[in-house]
Every structure is written in C-alpha cells, then in structure tokens.
Amino acid sequence: MNIFRFAGDMTHLISILVLLLKIYATKSCSGISLKTQELYAIVFLARYLDLFTDFISVYNTIMKLVFIGSSLAIVWCMRFHRVVRRSYDRELDTFRHYFLVGVSFILALLVHEKFSFQEIFWAFSIYLEAVAILPQLVLLQRSGNVDNLAGQYVFFLGAYRAFYILNWIYRYFTENHFGRWISCVSGLVQTALYADFFYYYFISWKNNVKLKLPA
C-alpha cells in the first residue's frame, strides 16, 4: 500500500468520523442527506460481498467492517433515533435516489469486466458510489448556508477520492499498473462532481467566512 492509498483510506475514515461527531455530539443531522447515506450503505454492502469469500489482510477486513457498520449506524440514527430524526431536513432532501440505484445496476449488467454475481455487484457499487454524493450536494445548495461539520464531512469525502486518483497515477508510474478501468472512470466522474463544492469551500476558507453554496 502506498502513501496515497493510505491517505485516501484515512480521509474517508475521517469523513465518517466527522459525520458521526456531528450526529452524536450535536444530536442533529441538519444539513445531511439521508438519501446519500442510504446510497453509501448500499455501496458498501454490495462491494464487500467478498468478506465471505476472500481474506486479503486484517487491515482490509477491519476497514470493510467499519465502512459497513458506520454507514448502517448513520442511516439508523437519521431514521429512528427519536432526537436526531427531528432535525432531518426532509423537505430539502427530496432527490429521487432510487433512480440512481436503478441506473447503476442496469449499467453494471451492461458494462462489467466479468459476468459473475460478485463482479456485477462490485461494478454496481462503483457506479453508484460515483453519484451517491448528488443528493447531499443538492441538499446543501437548497439550504444555502452550510454548517461547519457538514462542510468538513463533504470536503473529506471528496478528498478521499482525489487521493485515490493520485494512488492510480503513482501505481502507473511505479508498478506499470493503472488499476481497473471501471474504478478509474467512475472515480474521475465522482471527483468532478465535487469541483464546484471545493471551489466554494476554499473561497470560504480563504476569506474566513461561512460556507455558502449558490442555489
């Protein structure tokens, strides 16, 4: 594992910790899209089916369990925690995320590297992850002002994917291996979706003002 892959894993983990901090410390999920969290839960459950068949390393197994467990815990809190769910922005979080699930699954059936149960669900998870942030970005645009923890959550989530792109580039020059093309293309699409958010995030950080996204 190179430094860029490790940095990607850590920023991904930090994004989840920031989100859990927001939910459990403030007892609020305001500014957080339940639709996006449900999509990520589906992504991790579909991608890590190999937990039952393959063992790579203790680190790999722990990270997979952390991502699955944390995503399910976040969805549960936002849906069923009697205090947290009251702060959910239901009126703003109306993105039809099931459409993304359907399109991603159809795409996985049509475009994959190997026609097998596990490979189809792996491709499905990659395609779905590429667009899973869309409900969150739409919610932030509709709400206008973005609170500090919600903004940091999205920032670290975007940084995770950016580090993975650097990981692919590093592997290409050091190992003559660029990674699986489905991951690379989907990763570029996913990172591009964050471009607008990153721009306004750095502007707000530079000017030391509250992050605000244009509607």
pLDDT at position 56: 84
As a whole number, mean pLDDT of residues 162-183 equals: 81
Of residues 123 and 178, more confidently modeled: 123
3-state SS of the chain is CCHHHHHHHHHHHHHHHHHHHHHHHHCCCCCCCHHHHHHHHHHHHHHHHHHHCCCCCHHHHHHHHHHHHHHHHHHHHHHHCCCHHHHCCCCCCCCCHHHHHHHHHHHHHHCCCCCCHHHHHHHHHHHHHHHCCHHHHHHHHHHCECCHHHHHHHHHHHHHHHHHHHHHHHHHHHHCCCCCHHHHHHHHHHHHHCHHHHHHHHHHHHHCCCCECCC
Mean pLDDT of the chain: 89
pLDDT at position 172: 78
Domain contains 144: yes
pLDDT at position 36: 96
As for how many domains the chain has, the answer is 1
Of residues 114 and 45, more confidently modeled: 45
Contact by Cβ (8 Å): 40, 101: no
As a whole number, mean pLDDT of residues 148-157 equals: 89
Domain contains 179: yes
pLDDT at position 177: 67
pLDDT at position 95: 94
- pLDDT of residue 55 exceeding 90, the answer is no
Question: CA torsion 39→74→25→143, rounded to 10°?
Answer: 30
As a whole number, mean pLDDT of residues 130-143 equals: 92
**Cβ neighbours, 10 Å, residue 121:** 19
pLDDT at position 186: 87
Of residues 43 and 182, more confidently modeled: 43
Cα separation, 182 vs 108, whole angstroms = 10
Q: Report pLDDT digits (tens) over 115-131.
A: 888 999 999 999 999 99
- pLDDT of residue 91 exceeding 80, the answer is yes
Cα separation, 86 vs 202, whole angstroms = 31
Return the residue matching tokens 């670290």: 156
pLDDT at position 178: 61
- Domain hosting 153: range is 3-206
Domain contains 154: yes
pLDDT interval class at 183 (50, 70, 90)? confident
Residue 88 backbone phi and psi in degrees, to 5: -65, 130
Domain contains 189: yes
pTM across the whole model: 0.91
Domain contains 139: yes
pLDDT at position 215: 65
Domain contains 214: no
